[in-house]
Structure 1
Amino acid sequence: MQSTALSYLHKHQERIINQWDQQLSALRSDGEIKASLEKAVEHTNQEYMNLILQTARLNEEDSLEGLRQFTEQYIQSGRSLTYFTKALQGLRKAFHQQLKDVPPVGEDVLDIYSDLNEWIDNMNNFLVSKYIESWEDTLEMQKLSLLELSAPLIPVFEGITVMPLIGSIDTTRAKLIMENLLNGVIKNRSKVVLIDITGVPIVDTMVAHHIIEASEAVRLVGATSILVGIRPEIAQTIVNLGIDLTKFPTKSTLQKGMQKALEMCNQNKIEL
Protein backbone atom coordinates (compact mmCIF):
# COMPACT_ATOMS: atom_id res chain seq x y z
CA MET A 1 0.00 0.00 0.00
CA GLN A 2 1.26 3.52 -0.83
CA SER A 3 2.45 5.66 2.09
CA THR A 4 -0.33 8.24 1.63
CA ALA A 5 -3.12 5.68 1.91
CA LEU A 6 -1.29 3.91 4.73
CA SER A 7 -0.96 7.15 6.68
CA TYR A 8 -4.66 7.83 6.25
CA LEU A 9 -5.46 4.31 7.43
CA HIS A 10 -3.29 4.71 10.55
CA LYS A 11 -4.72 8.12 11.34
CA HIS A 12 -8.35 6.96 11.16
CA GLN A 13 -7.89 3.30 12.01
CA GLU A 14 -10.02 3.30 15.15
CA ARG A 15 -13.06 4.80 13.44
CA ILE A 16 -12.64 2.57 10.37
CA ILE A 17 -12.44 -0.51 12.59
CA ASN A 18 -15.59 0.53 14.45
CA GLN A 19 -17.47 1.02 11.20
CA TRP A 20 -16.17 -2.27 9.84
CA ASP A 21 -17.12 -4.06 13.04
CA GLN A 22 -20.68 -2.86 12.53
CA GLN A 23 -20.58 -4.31 9.01
CA LEU A 24 -19.31 -7.65 10.32
CA SER A 25 -21.87 -7.73 13.11
CA ALA A 26 -24.62 -7.34 10.51
CA LEU A 27 -23.47 -10.62 8.97
CA ARG A 28 -24.74 -12.47 12.05
CA SER A 29 -28.21 -12.26 10.58
CA ASP A 30 -27.10 -14.63 7.81
CA GLY A 31 -28.18 -18.26 8.19
CA GLU A 32 -24.57 -19.45 8.28
CA ILE A 33 -23.62 -17.08 11.09
CA LYS A 34 -26.76 -17.80 13.12
CA ALA A 35 -25.57 -21.33 13.68
CA SER A 36 -22.39 -20.08 15.37
CA LEU A 37 -22.00 -18.96 18.96
CA GLU A 38 -22.08 -15.19 19.46
CA LYS A 39 -18.69 -15.00 21.20
CA ALA A 40 -17.07 -17.26 18.62
CA VAL A 41 -18.29 -14.97 15.84
CA GLU A 42 -17.00 -11.89 17.66
CA HIS A 43 -13.60 -13.53 18.12
CA THR A 44 -13.49 -14.50 14.45
CA ASN A 45 -14.40 -10.95 13.42
CA GLN A 46 -11.69 -9.40 15.58
CA GLU A 47 -9.01 -11.84 14.44
CA TYR A 48 -10.01 -11.36 10.81
CA MET A 49 -9.87 -7.55 11.11
CA ASN A 50 -6.45 -7.64 12.76
CA LEU A 51 -4.98 -9.95 10.14
CA ILE A 52 -6.35 -7.92 7.23
CA LEU A 53 -5.03 -4.66 8.67
CA GLN A 54 -1.63 -6.24 9.32
CA THR A 55 -1.20 -6.81 5.59
CA ALA A 56 -1.09 -3.06 5.16
CA ARG A 57 1.63 -2.59 7.79
CA LEU A 58 3.96 -5.59 7.40
CA ASN A 59 5.89 -7.00 4.48
CA GLU A 60 3.87 -9.27 2.24
CA GLU A 61 5.29 -12.65 3.29
CA ASP A 62 4.97 -12.07 7.03
CA SER A 63 1.47 -10.63 6.84
CA LEU A 64 0.05 -13.15 4.40
CA GLU A 65 1.35 -16.13 6.38
CA GLY A 66 -0.92 -15.31 9.30
CA LEU A 67 -3.83 -14.72 6.96
CA ARG A 68 -3.11 -18.02 5.20
CA GLN A 69 -3.23 -19.94 8.49
CA PHE A 70 -6.44 -18.20 9.48
CA THR A 71 -8.00 -19.10 6.13
CA GLU A 72 -7.11 -22.78 6.52
CA GLN A 73 -8.56 -22.90 10.05
CA TYR A 74 -11.67 -21.08 8.87
CA ILE A 75 -12.27 -23.55 6.04
CA GLN A 76 -11.73 -26.52 8.36
CA SER A 77 -14.49 -25.15 10.59
CA GLY A 78 -16.90 -25.79 7.71
CA ARG A 79 -17.86 -22.22 6.85
CA SER A 80 -18.38 -20.97 3.33
CA LEU A 81 -16.64 -18.36 1.21
CA THR A 82 -19.58 -16.00 1.60
CA TYR A 83 -18.40 -14.62 4.93
CA PHE A 84 -14.94 -13.82 3.55
CA THR A 85 -16.19 -11.86 0.59
CA LYS A 86 -18.97 -10.05 2.44
CA ALA A 87 -16.56 -9.08 5.21
CA LEU A 88 -14.15 -7.51 2.72
CA GLN A 89 -17.02 -5.64 1.10
CA GLY A 90 -17.83 -4.34 4.58
CA LEU A 91 -14.26 -3.08 4.93
CA ARG A 92 -14.53 -1.36 1.55
CA LYS A 93 -17.75 0.37 2.65
CA ALA A 94 -16.13 1.44 5.93
CA PHE A 95 -13.20 3.04 4.05
CA HIS A 96 -15.47 4.77 1.58
CA GLN A 97 -17.65 6.16 4.36
CA GLN A 98 -14.60 7.42 6.23
CA LEU A 99 -13.23 9.13 3.10
CA LYS A 100 -16.63 10.73 2.59
CA ASP A 101 -16.93 11.91 6.20
CA VAL A 102 -13.30 13.01 6.66
CA PRO A 103 -11.59 13.80 3.34
CA PRO A 104 -7.76 13.87 3.52
CA VAL A 105 -6.26 17.30 3.82
CA GLY A 106 -3.77 18.24 1.12
CA GLU A 107 -3.95 14.81 -0.52
CA ASP A 108 -5.68 13.47 -3.61
CA VAL A 109 -8.82 11.63 -2.48
CA LEU A 110 -8.95 9.60 -5.69
CA ASP A 111 -5.40 8.33 -5.22
CA ILE A 112 -6.14 7.15 -1.68
CA TYR A 113 -9.49 5.72 -2.80
CA SER A 114 -7.83 3.81 -5.65
CA ASP A 115 -5.00 2.54 -3.45
CA LEU A 116 -7.35 1.28 -0.74
CA ASN A 117 -9.54 -0.42 -3.34
CA GLU A 118 -6.54 -2.14 -4.90
CA TRP A 119 -5.39 -3.36 -1.50
CA ILE A 120 -8.81 -4.81 -0.67
CA ASP A 121 -9.06 -6.43 -4.11
CA ASN A 122 -5.67 -8.08 -3.58
CA MET A 123 -6.83 -9.44 -0.22
CA ASN A 124 -10.03 -10.73 -1.77
CA ASN A 125 -8.13 -12.47 -4.59
CA PHE A 126 -5.70 -13.99 -2.10
CA LEU A 127 -8.43 -15.34 0.18
CA VAL A 128 -10.51 -16.73 -2.69
CA SER A 129 -7.40 -18.38 -4.16
CA LYS A 130 -6.47 -20.02 -0.85
CA TYR A 131 -10.06 -21.10 -0.27
CA ILE A 132 -10.20 -22.77 -3.69
CA GLU A 133 -6.81 -24.44 -3.18
CA SER A 134 -7.94 -25.86 0.15
CA TRP A 135 -11.13 -27.29 -1.32
CA GLU A 136 -9.22 -28.73 -4.28
CA ASP A 137 -6.90 -30.51 -1.84
CA THR A 138 -9.91 -31.81 0.10
CA LEU A 139 -11.61 -33.05 -3.06
CA GLU A 140 -8.41 -34.75 -4.21
CA MET A 141 -8.11 -36.57 -0.89
CA GLN A 142 -11.75 -37.65 -1.13
CA LYS A 143 -11.19 -38.81 -4.69
CA LEU A 144 -8.23 -40.94 -3.61
CA SER A 145 -10.28 -42.39 -0.74
CA LEU A 146 -13.09 -43.30 -3.12
CA LEU A 147 -10.61 -44.87 -5.53
CA GLU A 148 -9.22 -47.04 -2.75
CA LEU A 149 -12.76 -48.27 -2.04
CA SER A 150 -13.51 -48.78 -5.74
CA ALA A 151 -11.24 -51.80 -6.20
CA PRO A 152 -11.50 -53.97 -3.05
CA LEU A 153 -10.01 -57.46 -2.93
CA ILE A 154 -12.02 -59.76 -0.66
CA PRO A 155 -10.72 -63.16 0.53
CA VAL A 156 -13.66 -65.61 0.64
CA PHE A 157 -12.07 -69.05 0.95
CA GLU A 158 -8.55 -70.30 1.44
CA GLY A 159 -6.69 -69.47 -1.75
CA ILE A 160 -9.71 -67.73 -3.33
CA THR A 161 -10.35 -63.99 -3.44
CA VAL A 162 -12.95 -61.84 -5.20
CA MET A 163 -12.61 -58.36 -6.67
CA PRO A 164 -16.07 -56.87 -7.37
CA LEU A 165 -15.92 -53.92 -9.78
CA ILE A 166 -18.72 -51.36 -9.94
CA GLY A 167 -18.91 -48.35 -12.25
CA SER A 168 -16.79 -47.22 -15.16
CA ILE A 169 -13.09 -48.04 -15.38
CA ASP A 170 -10.64 -45.37 -16.48
CA THR A 171 -6.85 -45.41 -16.64
CA THR A 172 -6.41 -44.19 -13.05
CA ARG A 173 -8.77 -46.79 -11.65
CA ALA A 174 -7.25 -49.53 -13.83
CA LYS A 175 -3.85 -48.77 -12.30
CA LEU A 176 -5.33 -49.07 -8.81
CA ILE A 177 -7.03 -52.36 -9.74
CA MET A 178 -3.68 -53.73 -10.91
CA GLU A 179 -1.92 -52.67 -7.70
CA ASN A 180 -4.64 -54.05 -5.42
CA LEU A 181 -4.75 -57.33 -7.32
CA LEU A 182 -1.03 -57.95 -7.12
CA ASN A 183 -0.69 -56.86 -3.51
CA GLY A 184 -3.79 -58.82 -2.49
CA VAL A 185 -2.74 -62.00 -4.27
CA ILE A 186 0.60 -62.00 -2.48
CA LYS A 187 -0.83 -60.94 0.89
CA ASN A 188 -3.66 -63.51 0.86
CA ARG A 189 -1.60 -66.19 -0.90
CA SER A 190 -4.38 -66.49 -3.42
CA LYS A 191 -4.44 -69.22 -6.03
CA VAL A 192 -7.55 -67.97 -7.82
CA VAL A 193 -8.88 -64.42 -8.19
CA LEU A 194 -12.44 -63.79 -9.36
CA ILE A 195 -12.77 -60.46 -11.19
CA ASP A 196 -16.48 -59.66 -11.09
CA ILE A 197 -17.57 -57.10 -13.73
CA THR A 198 -21.31 -57.47 -13.10
CA GLY A 199 -21.48 -53.82 -12.02
CA VAL A 200 -19.39 -52.44 -14.90
CA PRO A 201 -21.88 -50.78 -17.29
CA ILE A 202 -19.69 -50.68 -20.41
CA VAL A 203 -16.89 -52.99 -21.47
CA ASP A 204 -15.10 -51.48 -24.46
CA THR A 205 -11.68 -52.12 -25.96
CA MET A 206 -9.89 -50.04 -23.32
CA VAL A 207 -11.66 -51.70 -20.37
CA ALA A 208 -11.03 -55.16 -21.83
CA HIS A 209 -7.37 -54.28 -22.36
CA HIS A 210 -7.02 -53.24 -18.70
CA ILE A 211 -8.69 -56.46 -17.53
CA ILE A 212 -6.43 -58.57 -19.74
CA GLU A 213 -3.35 -56.77 -18.40
CA ALA A 214 -4.49 -57.30 -14.81
CA SER A 215 -5.15 -61.00 -15.45
CA GLU A 216 -1.75 -61.44 -17.06
CA ALA A 217 -0.07 -59.74 -14.11
CA VAL A 218 -1.91 -62.08 -11.72
CA ARG A 219 -0.68 -65.07 -13.75
CA LEU A 220 2.91 -63.84 -13.49
CA VAL A 221 2.76 -63.89 -9.69
CA GLY A 222 1.52 -67.48 -9.68
CA ALA A 223 -2.27 -67.17 -9.52
CA THR A 224 -5.14 -67.59 -11.95
CA SER A 225 -7.87 -65.04 -12.61
CA ILE A 226 -11.43 -65.84 -13.63
CA LEU A 227 -13.55 -63.14 -15.24
CA VAL A 228 -17.16 -63.39 -14.05
CA GLY A 229 -20.32 -61.36 -14.55
CA ILE A 230 -20.31 -61.37 -18.35
CA ARG A 231 -23.84 -60.40 -19.30
CA PRO A 232 -25.22 -61.23 -22.78
CA GLU A 233 -24.86 -57.64 -24.01
CA ILE A 234 -21.26 -57.49 -22.82
CA ALA A 235 -20.51 -60.83 -24.46
CA GLN A 236 -21.92 -59.49 -27.73
CA THR A 237 -19.88 -56.32 -27.44
CA ILE A 238 -16.68 -58.29 -26.79
CA VAL A 239 -17.34 -60.44 -29.88
CA ASN A 240 -18.15 -57.42 -32.07
CA LEU A 241 -14.97 -55.66 -30.97
CA GLY A 242 -12.89 -58.75 -31.65
CA ILE A 243 -11.46 -58.78 -28.13
CA ASP A 244 -9.63 -62.00 -27.27
CA LEU A 245 -10.50 -63.24 -23.76
CA THR A 246 -9.53 -66.86 -24.37
CA LYS A 247 -6.33 -66.64 -22.36
CA PHE A 248 -8.12 -66.98 -19.02
CA PRO A 249 -11.40 -68.58 -17.82
CA THR A 250 -14.68 -66.64 -18.00
CA LYS A 251 -18.03 -67.34 -16.35
CA SER A 252 -21.40 -65.66 -16.66
CA THR A 253 -22.05 -65.37 -12.90
CA LEU A 254 -20.09 -65.14 -9.69
CA GLN A 255 -21.67 -68.38 -8.48
CA LYS A 256 -20.39 -70.34 -11.48
CA GLY A 257 -17.01 -68.67 -11.13
CA MET A 258 -16.86 -69.68 -7.47
CA GLN A 259 -17.64 -73.28 -8.35
CA LYS A 260 -14.80 -73.25 -10.87
CA ALA A 261 -12.43 -71.69 -8.34
CA LEU A 262 -13.26 -74.35 -5.73
CA GLU A 263 -12.52 -77.08 -8.28
CA MET A 264 -9.19 -75.48 -9.17
CA CYS A 265 -8.24 -75.34 -5.47
CA ASN A 266 -9.38 -78.95 -4.89
CA GLN A 267 -11.98 -77.82 -2.36
CA ASN A 268 -15.39 -79.38 -1.89
CA LYS A 269 -18.39 -77.42 -3.03
CA ILE A 270 -20.26 -75.86 -0.13
CA GLU A 271 -24.04 -76.01 -0.28
CA LEU A 272 -25.78 -73.05 1.39
Structure 2
Amino acid sequence: MQPDIIEIILQNKADLKARWLKEIEAVRKETYMKNVTEHVFDSTNQEFVELILDTLHWSQVEATERIGQYSERLVRAGMQLEYITQGLQAFRRVILEMLTERESDSKRIVSLFYEIETWIDGIINKVIHNYSGSWQNTFELQKLSLLELSAPLIPIFENISIMPLIGTIDTARAKLIMENLLNGVIKHRAEVVLIDITGVPVVDTMVAHHIIQAAEAVRLVGSRCILVGIRPEIAQTIVNLGIDLSQFPTKSTLRKGVETAFELTNKRLVDL
Protein backbone atom coordinates (compact mmCIF):
# COMPACT_ATOMS: atom_id res chain seq x y z
CA MET A 1 0.00 0.00 0.00
CA GLN A 2 1.16 3.54 -0.77
CA PRO A 3 2.92 5.24 2.17
CA ASP A 4 0.69 8.34 2.08
CA ILE A 5 -2.46 6.17 2.41
CA ILE A 6 -0.95 4.32 5.36
CA GLU A 7 -0.11 7.65 6.97
CA ILE A 8 -3.70 8.90 6.57
CA ILE A 9 -5.08 5.69 8.07
CA LEU A 10 -2.75 5.80 11.08
CA GLN A 11 -3.36 9.49 11.68
CA ASN A 12 -7.11 8.83 11.88
CA LYS A 13 -6.80 5.58 13.83
CA ALA A 14 -9.00 6.73 16.73
CA ASP A 15 -11.75 7.95 14.39
CA LEU A 16 -11.62 4.69 12.44
CA LYS A 17 -11.94 2.58 15.59
CA ALA A 18 -14.91 4.62 16.83
CA ARG A 19 -16.73 4.32 13.51
CA TRP A 20 -15.99 0.63 13.18
CA LEU A 21 -17.12 -0.23 16.73
CA LYS A 22 -20.42 1.47 15.95
CA GLU A 23 -20.78 -0.56 12.74
CA ILE A 24 -19.87 -3.83 14.44
CA GLU A 25 -22.78 -3.51 16.86
CA ALA A 26 -25.14 -3.97 13.91
CA VAL A 27 -23.14 -7.00 12.78
CA ARG A 28 -23.48 -8.48 16.26
CA LYS A 29 -27.27 -8.32 16.06
CA GLU A 30 -27.31 -10.04 12.67
CA THR A 31 -25.02 -12.93 13.69
CA TYR A 32 -24.99 -15.45 16.53
CA MET A 33 -22.96 -13.21 18.86
CA LYS A 34 -25.80 -12.09 21.12
CA ASN A 35 -24.85 -14.58 23.85
CA VAL A 36 -21.21 -13.47 24.00
CA THR A 37 -20.49 -11.39 27.12
CA GLU A 38 -19.80 -7.67 26.77
CA HIS A 39 -16.26 -8.08 28.11
CA VAL A 40 -15.35 -10.79 25.59
CA PHE A 41 -17.06 -8.92 22.77
CA ASP A 42 -15.30 -5.61 23.53
CA SER A 43 -11.85 -7.14 24.06
CA THR A 44 -12.20 -9.19 20.86
CA ASN A 45 -13.17 -6.11 18.87
CA GLN A 46 -10.28 -4.05 20.25
CA GLU A 47 -7.80 -6.78 19.38
CA PHE A 48 -9.47 -7.28 16.01
CA VAL A 49 -9.10 -3.69 14.86
CA GLU A 50 -5.54 -3.45 16.19
CA LEU A 51 -4.65 -6.59 14.25
CA ILE A 52 -6.06 -5.14 11.03
CA LEU A 53 -4.10 -1.90 11.41
CA ASP A 54 -0.91 -3.69 12.45
CA THR A 55 -0.87 -5.61 9.17
CA LEU A 56 0.16 -2.33 7.54
CA HIS A 57 3.58 -2.69 9.19
CA TRP A 58 4.07 -6.45 8.85
CA SER A 59 5.67 -8.46 6.10
CA GLN A 60 3.60 -11.04 4.20
CA VAL A 61 5.06 -13.89 6.27
CA GLU A 62 4.51 -12.18 9.61
CA ALA A 63 0.96 -11.14 8.70
CA THR A 64 0.07 -14.72 7.75
CA GLU A 65 1.51 -16.07 11.01
CA ARG A 66 -0.16 -13.46 13.26
CA ILE A 67 -3.54 -13.80 11.56
CA GLY A 68 -3.28 -17.57 11.85
CA GLN A 69 -2.63 -17.33 15.60
CA TYR A 70 -5.55 -14.93 16.02
CA SER A 71 -7.87 -17.22 14.03
CA GLU A 72 -7.01 -20.16 16.28
CA ARG A 73 -7.91 -18.13 19.37
CA LEU A 74 -11.23 -17.17 17.78
CA VAL A 75 -12.02 -20.84 17.09
CA ARG A 76 -11.28 -21.77 20.71
CA ALA A 77 -13.42 -18.85 21.90
CA GLY A 78 -16.34 -20.03 19.74
CA MET A 79 -16.46 -16.92 17.53
CA GLN A 80 -18.49 -17.31 14.34
CA LEU A 81 -16.69 -17.00 10.99
CA GLU A 82 -19.65 -14.97 9.72
CA TYR A 83 -18.96 -12.36 12.40
CA ILE A 84 -15.29 -12.11 11.40
CA THR A 85 -15.95 -11.71 7.68
CA GLN A 86 -18.75 -9.21 8.18
CA GLY A 87 -16.57 -7.31 10.63
CA LEU A 88 -13.83 -7.00 8.03
CA GLN A 89 -16.31 -5.88 5.40
CA ALA A 90 -17.64 -3.27 7.83
CA PHE A 91 -14.07 -2.06 8.42
CA ARG A 92 -13.58 -1.74 4.66
CA ARG A 93 -16.74 0.38 4.37
CA VAL A 94 -15.68 2.62 7.24
CA ILE A 95 -12.16 3.23 5.97
CA LEU A 96 -13.37 3.94 2.42
CA GLU A 97 -15.95 6.41 3.72
CA MET A 98 -13.30 8.19 5.76
CA LEU A 99 -10.82 8.39 2.89
CA THR A 100 -13.37 9.56 0.31
CA GLU A 101 -14.47 12.34 2.68
CA ARG A 102 -10.92 13.71 2.41
CA GLU A 103 -10.53 13.29 -1.34
CA SER A 104 -12.24 15.03 -4.26
CA ASP A 105 -10.13 13.73 -7.16
CA SER A 106 -12.05 10.87 -8.84
CA LYS A 107 -8.86 9.16 -10.07
CA ARG A 108 -7.44 9.31 -6.56
CA ILE A 109 -10.65 7.81 -5.13
CA VAL A 110 -10.47 4.90 -7.61
CA SER A 111 -6.87 4.29 -6.57
CA LEU A 112 -7.87 4.32 -2.90
CA PHE A 113 -10.64 1.81 -3.53
CA TYR A 114 -8.21 -0.54 -5.26
CA GLU A 115 -5.63 -0.26 -2.47
CA ILE A 116 -8.16 -0.85 0.33
CA GLU A 117 -9.92 -3.69 -1.50
CA THR A 118 -6.62 -5.50 -2.05
CA TRP A 119 -5.57 -4.98 1.58
CA ILE A 120 -8.80 -6.11 3.24
CA ASP A 121 -9.48 -8.95 0.79
CA GLY A 122 -6.03 -10.33 1.58
CA ILE A 123 -6.84 -10.34 5.30
CA ILE A 124 -10.25 -11.95 4.71
CA ASN A 125 -8.68 -14.73 2.62
CA LYS A 126 -6.05 -15.42 5.29
CA VAL A 127 -8.65 -15.48 8.09
CA ILE A 128 -10.98 -17.83 6.19
CA HIS A 129 -8.10 -20.16 5.28
CA ASN A 130 -6.75 -20.35 8.83
CA TYR A 131 -10.19 -20.43 10.44
CA SER A 132 -11.30 -23.31 8.20
CA GLY A 133 -8.07 -25.19 8.89
CA SER A 134 -8.47 -24.77 12.65
CA TRP A 135 -12.07 -25.98 12.53
CA GLN A 136 -11.03 -28.95 10.39
CA ASN A 137 -8.32 -29.92 12.87
CA THR A 138 -10.72 -29.53 15.79
CA PHE A 139 -13.37 -31.59 13.98
CA GLU A 140 -10.93 -34.39 13.15
CA LEU A 141 -9.68 -34.57 16.76
CA GLN A 142 -13.25 -34.69 18.08
CA LYS A 143 -14.18 -37.31 15.50
CA LEU A 144 -11.19 -39.44 16.50
CA SER A 145 -12.08 -39.13 20.19
CA LEU A 146 -15.68 -40.14 19.52
CA LEU A 147 -14.56 -43.10 17.44
CA GLU A 148 -12.25 -44.29 20.21
CA LEU A 149 -15.04 -44.00 22.76
CA SER A 150 -17.51 -45.72 20.45
CA ALA A 151 -15.59 -49.00 20.20
CA PRO A 152 -14.25 -49.93 23.66
CA LEU A 153 -13.31 -53.45 24.70
CA ILE A 154 -14.53 -53.93 28.28
CA PRO A 155 -13.39 -56.83 30.50
CA ILE A 156 -16.45 -58.11 32.43
CA PHE A 157 -15.04 -61.32 33.94
CA GLU A 158 -11.64 -62.93 34.01
CA ASN A 159 -10.73 -63.87 30.41
CA ILE A 160 -14.11 -62.58 29.16
CA SER A 161 -14.53 -59.19 27.46
CA ILE A 162 -17.30 -57.42 25.60
CA MET A 163 -17.30 -54.83 22.81
CA PRO A 164 -20.66 -53.01 22.54
CA LEU A 165 -21.17 -51.43 19.13
CA ILE A 166 -23.58 -48.52 18.68
CA GLY A 167 -24.47 -46.67 15.49
CA THR A 168 -23.48 -47.09 11.87
CA ILE A 169 -20.27 -48.94 11.06
CA ASP A 170 -18.29 -47.55 8.14
CA THR A 171 -14.87 -48.55 6.83
CA ALA A 172 -12.94 -46.08 9.02
CA ARG A 173 -14.77 -47.17 12.14
CA ALA A 174 -14.40 -50.85 11.26
CA LYS A 175 -10.64 -50.38 11.10
CA LEU A 176 -10.65 -48.78 14.56
CA ILE A 177 -12.87 -51.59 15.92
CA MET A 178 -10.38 -54.14 14.61
CA GLU A 179 -7.44 -52.34 16.23
CA ASN A 180 -9.20 -51.88 19.58
CA LEU A 181 -10.39 -55.46 19.52
CA LEU A 182 -6.98 -57.01 18.92
CA ASN A 183 -5.17 -54.68 21.34
CA GLY A 184 -7.81 -55.31 24.00
CA VAL A 185 -7.67 -59.08 23.60
CA ILE A 186 -3.91 -59.05 24.22
CA LYS A 187 -4.10 -56.50 27.03
CA HIS A 188 -6.91 -58.19 28.97
CA ARG A 189 -5.84 -61.75 28.04
CA ALA A 190 -9.36 -62.42 26.85
CA GLU A 191 -10.19 -65.98 25.87
CA VAL A 192 -13.72 -65.05 24.76
CA VAL A 193 -14.90 -61.75 23.25
CA LEU A 194 -18.59 -60.83 22.98
CA ILE A 195 -19.37 -58.42 20.13
CA ASP A 196 -22.73 -56.86 20.96
CA ILE A 197 -24.51 -55.39 17.91
CA THR A 198 -27.76 -54.55 19.74
CA GLY A 199 -27.17 -50.85 19.04
CA VAL A 200 -26.27 -51.27 15.35
CA PRO A 201 -29.36 -50.17 13.38
CA VAL A 202 -28.53 -51.92 10.10
CA VAL A 203 -26.44 -55.00 9.36
CA ASP A 204 -25.76 -55.20 5.63
CA THR A 205 -23.16 -57.14 3.66
CA MET A 206 -20.40 -54.62 4.39
CA VAL A 207 -21.08 -54.55 8.15
CA ALA A 208 -21.25 -58.36 8.28
CA HIS A 209 -17.99 -58.56 6.36
CA HIS A 210 -16.27 -56.28 8.89
CA ILE A 211 -17.64 -58.34 11.79
CA ILE A 212 -16.48 -61.60 10.19
CA GLN A 213 -13.02 -60.10 9.65
CA ALA A 214 -12.89 -59.01 13.30
CA ALA A 215 -13.93 -62.48 14.50
CA GLU A 216 -11.30 -64.12 12.29
CA ALA A 217 -8.62 -61.76 13.60
CA VAL A 218 -9.60 -62.64 17.18
CA ARG A 219 -9.34 -66.34 16.33
CA LEU A 220 -5.84 -65.86 14.90
CA VAL A 221 -4.58 -64.42 18.20
CA GLY A 222 -5.91 -67.44 20.09
CA SER A 223 -9.31 -66.22 21.33
CA ARG A 224 -12.91 -66.94 20.44
CA CYS A 225 -15.65 -64.53 19.38
CA ILE A 226 -19.39 -64.60 20.08
CA LEU A 227 -21.78 -62.30 18.23
CA VAL A 228 -24.69 -61.19 20.44
CA GLY A 229 -27.68 -58.91 19.96
CA ILE A 230 -29.10 -60.66 16.89
CA ARG A 231 -32.59 -59.16 16.68
CA PRO A 232 -35.27 -60.87 14.54
CA GLU A 233 -35.09 -58.24 11.80
CA ILE A 234 -31.29 -58.48 11.76
CA ALA A 235 -31.49 -62.28 11.51
CA GLN A 236 -33.91 -61.96 8.60
CA THR A 237 -31.63 -59.51 6.80
CA ILE A 238 -28.62 -61.77 7.28
CA VAL A 239 -30.52 -64.74 5.81
CA ASN A 240 -31.88 -62.72 2.88
CA LEU A 241 -28.40 -61.44 2.04
CA GLY A 242 -26.95 -64.94 2.23
CA ILE A 243 -24.33 -63.90 4.80
CA ASP A 244 -22.51 -66.84 6.36
CA LEU A 245 -21.97 -66.35 10.11
CA SER A 246 -21.42 -70.01 10.85
CA GLN A 247 -17.75 -69.46 11.64
CA PHE A 248 -18.50 -68.26 15.18
CA PRO A 249 -21.40 -68.58 17.69
CA THR A 250 -24.29 -66.09 17.59
CA LYS A 251 -26.75 -65.36 20.38
CA SER A 252 -29.88 -63.27 20.51
CA THR A 253 -29.09 -61.56 23.84
CA LEU A 254 -26.06 -60.54 25.84
CA ARG A 255 -27.16 -62.76 28.72
CA LYS A 256 -27.12 -65.87 26.53
CA GLY A 257 -23.77 -64.82 25.17
CA VAL A 258 -22.31 -64.51 28.69
CA GLU A 259 -23.65 -67.96 29.58
CA THR A 260 -21.92 -69.41 26.52
CA ALA A 261 -18.71 -67.56 27.41
CA PHE A 262 -18.83 -69.15 30.89
CA GLU A 263 -19.10 -72.58 29.33
CA LEU A 264 -16.17 -71.93 27.01
CA THR A 265 -13.95 -70.73 29.88
CA ASN A 266 -15.05 -73.43 32.34
CA LYS A 267 -16.86 -70.98 34.63
CA ARG A 268 -20.29 -71.01 36.27
CA LEU A 269 -22.32 -68.80 38.54
CA VAL A 270 -23.15 -70.22 41.95
CA ASP A 271 -25.95 -68.90 44.18
CA LEU A 272 -24.80 -68.18 47.73
Contact 1:229 1:254 in 2 (8 A): yes
Contact 1:195 1:227 in 2 (8 A): yes
**Once the 2 structures are TM-superposed, how far is the Cα of residue 22 of structure 1 from its aligned partner?**
2.8
CA distance in 1, matches of 2:270, 2:210: 32
Q: Which residue of 1 aligns with 2:19?
A: 22
Within-5 A mapping of 1:69-148? 69-103=69-103, 108-148=108-148
TM-score (norm 2): 0.90
Gaps of 5+ in 2: none
Cα-to-partner distance string for 1:178-216 (whole Å, 9 max, x where unaligned): 011101111111010001111111111111111111001
> Is 1:169 paired with 2:169?
yes
Contact 2:96 2:116 in 1 (8 A): no
**Once the 2 structures are TM-superposed, how far is the Cα of residue 55 of structure 1 from its aligned partner?**
2.2
CA distance in 1, matches of 2:75, 2:86: 16
CA distance in 1, matches of 2:170, 2:34: 42
Within-5 A mapping of 1:187-206? 187-206=187-206
Q: Which residue of 1 aligns with 2:207?
A: 207
Q: Which moved more, 1:106-115 or 1:148-157?
A: 106-115
Within-5 A mapping of 1:205-244? 205-244=205-244
Sequence identity of aligned pairs in percent? 49
CA distance in 2, matches of 1:8, 1:234: 71
CA distance in 2, matches of 1:183, 1:205: 25
Q: Which moved more, 1:220-229 or 1:46-55?
A: 46-55
**Once the 2 structures are TM-superposed, how far is the Cα of residue 88 of structure 1 from its aligned partner?**
1.3
Quick one: which of 2, 5, 8 aligns to 1:8? 5
CA distance in 2, matches of 1:216, 1:177: 13
Contact 1:21 1:45 in 2 (8 A): no
Q: Which residue of 2 aligns with 1:262?
A: 262
Gaps of 5+ in 1: none
Contact 1:215 1:224 in 2 (8 A): yes
RMSD, aligned CA: 2.2
Q: Which residue of 1 aligns with 2:247?
A: 247
> In the alignment, residue 265 of structure 2 is paired with which amino acid?
C
Q: Which moved more, 1:57-66 or 1:245-254?
A: 57-66
Q: CA 1:34/1:166 → structure 2, altered by over 3 Å: closer, same or farther?
A: closer
Q: Which residue of 2 aligns with 1:152?
A: 152
TM-score (norm 1): 0.90
